[in-house]
A and B are shown apart, each in its own frame.
Chain A
Amino acid sequence: MKVNDVVLQTAAKVVFFIILLFSIFIFFAGHYTPGGGFVGGLLATGAIALLLLAYDLRTVQQLLPFNFMIVVAIGLLLSIGMASGSIIFNVPFFTHAFDDFYLPLFGATSLHTAMIFDAGVYLVVIGAAMTIIQAIGGDS
């Protein structure tokens, strides 16, 4: 029962980017307003899942040619690397640092090492969720 779902596919193309943007927004906003790496990662997964619904597994794999388990690994590495990076500066494991910087495009911005950790969380959540979905979806 193959149906032509042009409407879904067209809408997905638009909505995918909106969700992805929202997920990135939520990720960056996490430190001051509700959000953060976990929800952001889940939303990004939702966006990819939408693509999976509109198209099929193989198309999505061609579109996003990642091995999501490697994404998991990169995420874990980022988080652990951040956490242990503090040891180099002779402060306890998992000590964060932050300061205000003047960046050319953004103006006065507060940068926090916790963001790197959150980025790790973000990647792990996407990677793990996608691994599960792809594994279950790919099994017939």
Chain B
Amino acid sequence: MIFFPVLAAIFVPILFRKLKSIHTGWFVLIIPITLFIYYTGFIQTTMNGGHAISSLEWIPSLDISFVSYIDGLSLLFSLLITGIGALVVLYSIFYLDKTREKLNNFYVYLLMFMTAMLGIVQSDNIITLYLFWELTSISSFLLIGYWYTRDGSRFGALKSMLITVFGGLMMLGGFVLLGIMGDTYSIRELIANASNLVGQEFFILALVLVLLGAFTKSAQFPFYIWLPDAMEAPTPVSAYLHSATMVKAGLYLVARFTPVFAVSEVWIWLVTGIGLLTLFWGAFFAVKQTDLKAILAFSTVSQLGLIMSLLGASAISYHVDAGTALFKFAGFAAVFHLINHAVFKGSLFMVAGIVDHETGTRDIRKLGGLMGVMPISFTVAFIGSMSMAGLPPFGGFLSKELFLTSTLALKDFNLFNFSTWGIIFPIVAWIASVFTFIYSFYFVFKTFAGKRKKESLSVEPKEAPVGMLIAPVILAVLVVVIFFIPNVVGDTLVNPAVVAMQAGLYSHPSEVLVHVSAWHGWTPELLMTLGIIGLGSILFLTMRKWQPLYNLQPELLSLNGLYDSLMMAGEKGMNRLSRLYMTGVFRTYLIYMFVSIVVITLATLFIKDAFKVDFNSFAPLNAYGILTAVLLILSVVMILTAKTRITAVIALGGVGYSVAFFFVIYKAPDLALTQLVIETITVVLFLLAFHRLPELKRHGESKGFRLGNFIVAAGVGITMALVALSAHSQKLIPSISQFYKDTVYSEAGGGNIVNVILVDYRGFDTLFEIAVLSIAGIGVYSMIRLKLPGKGSTDESK
């Protein structure tokens, strides 16, 4: 079933081209609805503590296959993905124009994304999980850059791509380490063997890498910076990807791997700490924003941080006795708030889209007083915002109470230094909640209340069409419904998810004894909520006075500035670096090569202690040899000190003939013959080339002396001499030549060993050497004869 959307996506472009009159979205809408109904069927199974597995073999030899494993947690996510997916598709039908937009692209990307998300939450195999993970990055990249003619879209798409793919790759590293340590790629088996993993060498590294993946995807501090820029996407995309589904993939990952990593102190501190930091940071900066969607983006970041910190707290339940149920409570709170957030944030994004669509701007400074003209949108926005702020009678209130209870419990936890530092958690959580309250009010009242600013709007605002309102209204109704029947939601969805998340602690969903109620007495958390409302209201009413404080923060010191300067520095640095060594001068590259040869060879000689000279293995010197060597050396010196080219050419001939003498002395008549003839022809060719040097470039003066060249040349010479000496002194295996001597007549019917080797024993080499010769001939011919017309005048070969 995972692949259903992406397979259906094949037909989208066809439908888009053939049926112009009907909005393509209507066809697409069928898919998430079907899937939603299909997944609803599993609720009964998971409520009874069961699960459903189906698998599809992919690479059996590497133990990689698509295993779809549906338990409480994956079912919850699947329902969110398909349910909100259906609503988003419905919304997009009215949001995107069927004639102006490239709907075929849009829905294909969207369906691709849906498959990827379902794949993430249902995969039991970590390799396929990674596969789907990257598919969400890619499809989200495509969706953010949907309006690819805008600079902002491309910038946002690139930024989110870079950050999430960075995290994805880190995560892959963590997965591979996990796979090696646990000897399996199956998440269920990893969870079952979790106790074996602890204390292994790479356990902490794997933990941090997996967390990096989760933090980048879920926009945690400091990786949240891509999310506000991703708001350039069409609003249905923002509502779907950047509030309800993709950004929760990281949360899913953390929840899924809690049973594996929860035993570690690092995990608890990192997840809880980063979560709280993100919660505070996002809430704090959301108030600074002036763009509707940017406010929502920062609020998403903040809420994700809240859920993340709850997930971290829930991992503590592995360390405390069964009697202290408080930390299991945190797991329940996390999942419950996850549902709440998906519901209200989806509706809020849709409202922001409606406002944008109907007024032509998302700038909150230009908006105001829309309550009268857009009553339904206002109601939805109000419900969503109040739920976000955590006020009764909306779903958000319940999850906020649960959250405060959990943070209060954290400060009493006395393992891992929590008894010392734990007090920070409820304080930070409380301050963050105050800011959450402020931006929720800021969002809804600055947009809808106050006076109409007619002059700042280009169009006359009016209520959105009914179709566009259906989806947000459904979500808003859900927000209220959840408040009144939290325990129904808890029993059907949350408890099975908590059981999956805290595997090994429960055996049946009904053991999760969390009872949510709107009124639970005069508890500290209720007092905290009252405090939030009080302080929040005061700060909201005096907002105009203290909001300029935000301008004190210089743009460069923000994380975005850091990202920008990092990218700039990277680009510039790489440019400078490559310009530094890619000089384009042939001499430089030669020096690189020679120096590396010298360094590598000498280092090997030194490290392996391979240098050895055995004087006994040398043949005795004779007078002819010495004489020829002197001749050779004289010729070489002459080449190097030659004042004119012609001297050098002739001296080179001298070198060649001395080498031929050497061949004579060392009894190689074939070589001597060939060397003589070849040397003659080479010298003739050199003279031909010398004769043809162009007039202007002719410079008869001697080459300058360069110390660097001298050192490199001397280094290469000495290195090669050392290698030759030691290679000669230690022969590891006997030579093969005795075989040739013995068989040259009996096997090959010849007397000249050299020639018989050339044409018979190893004729293959000769075959390709003559091929090389032919290519050289044809090459010279074509270089000289075939000149392209028009280029001939500047051709160097002329």
Question: Which of A6-14, A54-62, A76-84 contacts the other chain?
Answer: A76-84
CA distance A121 to B766 in the complex (A): 8
A34 lies within 8 A of chain B by Cβ:
yes
B673 lies within 8 A of chain A by Cβ:
yes
Q: A31-B750, A117-B763 are in contact. Are A39 and B670 (CB under 8 A)?
A: yes
- Nearest opposing residue in chain B for A79, CB measure: B767
CA distance A76 to B678 in the complex (A): 21
Chain B: residues with Cβ within 8 Å of the partner, total of 37
Q: Closest approach, in angstroms, between the C-beta of A128 and any C-beta of chain B?
A: 3
CA distance A132 to B784 in the complex (A): 10
Question: Which of B584-592, B639-647, B753-761 contacts the other chain?
Answer: B753-761
CB distance B785 to A135 under 8 Å? yes
Question: Which residues of chain A come closer than 8 Å to B755, judged between CB atoms?
Answer: 30-31, 34-36, 118
Chain A window 24-58, contacts with chain B (Cβ cutoff 8 Å), 1 for yes, 0 for no: 00100011111111110011011001000000000
Q: Closest approach, in angstroms, between the C-beta of A56 and any C-beta of chain B?
A: 16
CB distance A136 to B784 under 8 Å? yes
Question: Which residues of chain B come closer than 8 Å to A43, judged between CB atoms?
Answer: 677
Chain B window 666-678, contacts with chain A (Cβ cutoff 8 Å), 1 for yes, 0 for no: 0001100110011
Q: Closest approach, in angstroms, between the C-beta of B327 and any C-beta of chain A?
A: 75
Q: Closest approach, in angstroms, between the C-beta of A66 and any C-beta of chain B?
A: 13
Question: Which residues of chain A come closer than 8 Å to B750, judged between CB atoms?
Answer: 31-32, 112, 114
A30, A33, A69, A128: the one within 8 Å of B773 (CB): A128
Chain A window 105-133, contacts with chain B (Cβ cutoff 8 Å), 1 for yes, 0 for no: 00000101010011011001101110110
Q: A68-96: which residues lie under 8 A (CB-CB) from chain B? A: 68-69, 72-73, 75-76, 79-80, 83, 94, 96
CB distance A34 to B681 under 8 Å? no
Chain B window 746-779, contacts with chain A (Cβ cutoff 8 Å), 1 for yes, 0 for no: 0011111011101110011011001101101110
CA distance A35 to B671 in the complex (A): 9
CB distance A42 to B763 under 8 Å? no
- Nearest opposing residue in chain A for B783, CB measure: A135
CB distance B776 to A128 under 8 Å? yes
CB distance B752 to A72 under 8 Å? no
Q: A36-B752, A135-B785, A136-B688 are in contact. Are A114 and B759 (CB under 8 A)?
A: yes
Q: Closest approach, in angstroms, between the C-beta of B669 and any C-beta of chain A?
A: 4
- Nearest opposing residue in chain B for A76, CB measure: B774
Q: Closest approach, in angstroms, between the C-beta of B562 and any C-beta of chain A?
A: 63
B678, B680, B763: the one within 8 Å of A83 (CB): B763
Question: Which residues of chain B come closer than 8 Å to A5, judged between CB atoms?
Answer: none
Q: Closest approach, in angstroms, between the C-beta of A97 and any C-beta of chain B?
A: 9
A98 lies within 8 A of chain B by Cβ:
yes
Question: Which residues of chain A come closer than 8 Å to B760, judged between CB atoms?
Answer: 96, 114
CB distance A38 to B774 under 8 Å? no
CB distance B770 to A39 under 8 Å? no
CA distance A104 to B670 in the complex (A): 32
CA distance A39 to B750 in the complex (A): 17
CB distance B748 to A33 under 8 Å? no
B781 lies within 8 A of chain A by Cβ:
yes
CB distance B771 to A36 under 8 Å? no
B674, B685, B688, B759: the one within 8 Å of A39 (CB): B674
CA distance A125 to B759 in the complex (A): 15
CA distance A45 to B773 in the complex (A): 14
A32, A69, A114, A120: the one within 8 Å of B777 (CB): A69
CB distance B778 to A72 under 8 Å? yes
CA distance A43 to B674 in the complex (A): 9
CB distance B763 to A124 under 8 Å? no
Chain B window 279-316, contacts with chain A (Cβ cutoff 8 Å), 1 for yes, 0 for no: 00000000000000000000000000000000000000
Question: Which residues of chain B come closer than 8 Å to A96, judged between CB atoms?
Answer: 748, 759-760, 763
CB distance A94 to B773 under 8 Å? no
B459 lies within 8 A of chain A by Cβ:
no
CB distance B759 to A117 under 8 Å? yes
CB distance A37 to B670 under 8 Å? no
Q: A39-B670, A117-B763 are in contact. Are A76 and B778 (CB under 8 A)?
A: no
B752, B767, B771, B773: the one within 8 Å of A35 (CB): B752
CB distance B674 to A129 under 8 Å? no
Question: Which residues of chain A come closer than 8 Å to B373, judged between CB atoms?
Answer: none
Question: Which residues of chain A come closer than 8 Å to B674, judged between CB atoms?
Answer: 38-39, 42
CB distance B673 to A112 under 8 Å? no
Question: Which residues of chain B come closer than 8 Å to A129, judged between CB atoms?
Answer: 681, 777
Question: Which residues of chain A come closer than 8 Å to B470, judged between CB atoms?
Answer: none
CB distance A33 to B752 under 8 Å? yes
List 15 interface pairs A-B (beta carbons < 8 Å), by A numbering: A31-B755, A35-B673, A38-B674, A39-B674, A42-B681, A69-B781, A75-B774, A79-B770, A83-B763, A110-B749, A114-B759, A121-B759, A131-B781, A132-B781, A135-B781
Q: Which 4 A-B pairs have the closest CB atoms?
A: A128-B777, A32-B751, A34-B669, A98-B749
Q: Give 9 A-B pairs besides A46-B680, A83-B763 with Cβ atoms closer than 8 angstroms.
A: A26-B673, A31-B749, A34-B669, A35-B673, A35-B752, A79-B767, A118-B759, A120-B770, A136-B784
